[in-house]
Structure 1
């Protein structure tokens, strides 16, 4: 075979490979011409979200993402939990939390407000500002509620609980009444401090909150 024929033959092979690659790329592109991306879900919270005292793979965002993917959802959950954060702290870092442009947000804040006895009106103002900003950015929201410890009295506990009810109604967002439902005060599902869930405790949280998360996602992220 002459050198020219050999070159032409190799060129045809390369051209076919390039064409095949282009077809494959088109298949992976959506109608908008961009690579399909996972649905971005922001988990905005405190140590309960961050995974205090747990290996990275045991944190709430990781376990929730795994559970959703197992049911066919193509989601990427952003762990924006900071241990020790109050509602004020979450509000202060909202710009940073929104840098990844999430489409959905799970808001879990207020536990440290309740532990510190912060005026429920202050907590409400901070959470109201967070929800207002998220909605302005077009983010779909799941608000999770929190209960205050009993040591501040029944009136404080009820005022604190009602903060979340009012906010959910005011902003017309999905609402999960108690983030720690099913594990609170259960020593088998909490770490030694009695406040933070174990890996197994997080698994219970995920199992219980999963229907609410799926309802918020709808068909978004569904493969």
Structure 2
């Protein structure tokens, strides 16, 4: 029976400004299939601009199965962009993570948390007039919260923020979101963790 995969997030998960096949959840599925895995196309619950609370509301509206074999969660950039507090982020992220774990059949090792990339390094970021060091600092802080919450819950955490900084030129035509080539690098980082996760019951 094919694995069922739920991808939760925002513009980085839906793949703003790239073709559907270039989204990293789609690239991940294709790569897993090349390894011989039977896995369905991902159900993506993600909209550009979503914050943690908006993702939660979006999940309320989505038609979700009772259980998934794999869940990925990448959320928080819009909390930072809009100046939301870290206390709100922690509380709402924790609730999302617990919800994702429930949807994984209460198998936290099947829920993979992916870090927030650094939008400040992009051409859009440089043109924004905002303090790029402050953006990086705030995103690092949000990512530390996500890592802590994932560790506490027993969910794996994959840091792709460094990739976003090292490959800042690999962006889509909007000058902000990653290109398919950058998403391929994310996929390469996430895939070994996914393979290990699904190997466990």
TM bracket, shorter-chain basis: 0.7 to 0.9
Moved more, 186-195 or 153-162: 153-162
Greater Rg, structure 1 or structure 2? 1
- Which residue among 42, 47, 61 is the counterpart of 2:6? 42
Is residue 2:195 matched to residue 1:214?
yes
Superposition CA RMSD, Å: 2.3
Which residue does the alignment assign to 1:124? Answer: 90
Deviation >4 Å, runs of 4+ = none
Aligned length, in residue pairs: 183
The runs of 5 or more residues in structure 1 that have no matched partner are 1-36
2:9/2:74 contact within 8 Å kept: yes
Which residue does the alignment assign to 2:37? Answer: 73
2:18/2:179 contact within 8 Å kept: yes
| Cα 1:102/1:187, change in 2 over 3 Å | same
Q: Secondary structure of 1:93's match?
A: helix
The runs of 5 or more residues in structure 2 that have no matched partner are 121-131
Higher relative contact order (CA 8 A, sep 6+): 2
Q: TM-score, normalised by structure 2?
A: 0.79
Which whole-Å CA distance do the structure 2 matches of 1:196 and 1:109 have between them?
14
Q: Secondary structure of 2:190's match?
A: helix
Q: Secondary structure of 2:98's match?
A: helix
1:84/1:112 contact within 8 Å kept: yes
Q: TM-score, normalised by structure 1?
A: 0.72
Q: Post-superposition shift, 1:187?
A: 4.5
Residue correspondence of structure 1 range 1-223 to structure 2 within 5 A: 37-76=1-40, 77-97=42-62, 99-100=64-65, 101-137=67-103, 138-139=105-106, 140-146=110-116, 149=120, 150-152=132-134, 156-178=138-160, 180-184=161-165, 186-218=167-199
